[in-house]
Amino acid sequence: MELFDIVVEPNVPRRRGREALSEKKRAAALFRVWHGVRELIDEAERLGENELVHFLAVAQMLVEEKATTLTAGTVFDGADTSLPN
Protein backbone atom coordinates (compact mmCIF):
# COMPACT_ATOMS: atom_id res chain seq x y z
CA MET A 1 0.00 0.00 0.00
CA GLU A 2 1.39 3.35 -1.03
CA LEU A 3 0.82 6.41 1.12
CA PHE A 4 0.89 9.97 -0.11
CA ASP A 5 0.62 13.35 1.52
CA ILE A 6 -1.84 16.03 0.59
CA VAL A 7 -0.27 19.44 1.03
CA VAL A 8 -2.62 22.38 1.46
CA GLU A 9 -1.11 25.81 1.27
CA PRO A 10 -3.25 28.39 3.03
CA ASN A 11 -4.07 31.75 1.50
CA VAL A 12 -2.96 30.85 -1.99
CA PRO A 13 -4.90 32.82 -4.57
CA ARG A 14 -6.91 30.34 -6.60
CA ARG A 15 -8.00 32.61 -9.45
CA ARG A 16 -6.55 35.48 -11.29
CA GLY A 17 -8.29 38.76 -10.83
CA ARG A 18 -10.55 39.19 -13.82
CA GLU A 19 -11.47 42.47 -15.33
CA ALA A 20 -15.14 43.21 -15.68
CA LEU A 21 -16.52 42.52 -19.12
CA SER A 22 -17.98 45.29 -21.20
CA GLU A 23 -21.76 45.29 -21.54
CA LYS A 24 -21.49 44.02 -25.10
CA LYS A 25 -19.26 41.08 -24.11
CA ARG A 26 -21.46 40.33 -21.11
CA ALA A 27 -24.54 40.25 -23.32
CA ALA A 28 -22.76 37.94 -25.77
CA ALA A 29 -21.78 35.59 -22.93
CA LEU A 30 -25.36 35.59 -21.65
CA PHE A 31 -26.60 34.82 -25.16
CA ARG A 32 -24.30 31.76 -25.26
CA VAL A 33 -25.66 30.69 -21.86
CA TRP A 34 -29.20 31.16 -23.19
CA HIS A 35 -28.46 28.83 -26.10
CA GLY A 36 -26.94 26.28 -23.73
CA VAL A 37 -30.03 26.34 -21.54
CA ARG A 38 -32.18 25.93 -24.65
CA GLU A 39 -30.23 22.78 -25.58
CA LEU A 40 -30.72 21.47 -22.03
CA ILE A 41 -34.46 22.10 -22.36
CA ASP A 42 -34.54 20.12 -25.61
CA GLU A 43 -32.73 17.23 -23.94
CA ALA A 44 -35.02 17.33 -20.86
CA GLU A 45 -38.07 17.28 -23.16
CA ARG A 46 -36.63 14.28 -25.00
CA LEU A 47 -36.21 12.50 -21.65
CA GLY A 48 -39.74 13.42 -20.55
CA GLU A 49 -38.57 15.38 -17.50
CA ASN A 50 -41.36 17.96 -17.26
CA GLU A 51 -40.27 19.49 -13.94
CA LEU A 52 -36.74 19.97 -15.26
CA VAL A 53 -38.11 21.53 -18.45
CA HIS A 54 -40.08 24.02 -16.35
CA PHE A 55 -37.08 24.87 -14.15
CA LEU A 56 -34.82 25.37 -17.18
CA ALA A 57 -37.46 27.49 -18.94
CA VAL A 58 -37.57 29.81 -15.93
CA ALA A 59 -33.76 30.01 -15.93
CA GLN A 60 -33.81 30.73 -19.66
CA MET A 61 -36.29 33.58 -19.16
CA LEU A 62 -34.11 35.09 -16.43
CA VAL A 63 -31.03 34.96 -18.66
CA GLU A 64 -33.00 36.47 -21.54
CA GLU A 65 -34.30 39.27 -19.31
CA LYS A 66 -30.80 40.09 -18.07
CA ALA A 67 -29.31 40.10 -21.56
CA THR A 68 -32.19 42.20 -22.86
CA THR A 69 -31.65 44.83 -20.18
CA LEU A 70 -27.98 45.04 -21.15
CA THR A 71 -28.60 45.47 -24.86
CA ALA A 72 -32.04 47.08 -25.05
CA GLY A 73 -33.47 44.03 -26.79
CA THR A 74 -31.11 43.66 -29.75
CA VAL A 75 -29.51 40.33 -28.78
CA PHE A 76 -32.64 38.19 -29.19
CA ASP A 77 -34.08 39.90 -32.26
CA GLY A 78 -32.91 37.15 -34.62
CA ALA A 79 -33.49 34.22 -32.24
CA ASP A 80 -36.58 32.05 -32.05
CA THR A 81 -37.81 32.69 -28.51
CA SER A 82 -41.14 30.96 -29.00
CA LEU A 83 -40.31 28.01 -26.73
CA PRO A 84 -43.32 27.49 -24.45
CA ASN A 85 -42.82 27.57 -20.71
Q: Give a yes or no: residue 82 inside a domain.
A: no
State the pLDDT at residue 85. Answer: 47
Q: How many helices (H) and strands (E) would you count in the chain?
A: 2, 0
Q: Give a yes or no: residue 31 inside a domain.
A: yes
Per the structure, how many domains does the chain have?
A: 1
Q: Give a yes or no: residue 46 inside a domain.
A: yes
State the pLDDT at residue 28. Answer: 85
Q: What's the CA angle centered on 81, arms 58 and 27, to 5 degrees?
A: 75
Q: What is the mean pLDDT of residues 5-22?
A: 71
Per residue in 32-75, pLDDT (tens digit) is: 999 999 999 999 999 999 999 999 999 999 998 888 887 765 55
State the pLDDT at residue 41. Answer: 95
State the pLDDT at residue 73. Answer: 55
State the pLDDT at residue 21. Answer: 78
Q: pLDDT: is 6 or 57 the higher one?
A: 57
Q: Give a yes or no: residue 12 inside a domain.
A: no
Residue 11 backbone zone (phi > 0: left; psi -120 to 50: alpha; other: beta): left
Q: Give a yes or no: residue 6 inside a domain.
A: no
Structural domain boundaries, residue 32:
23-71
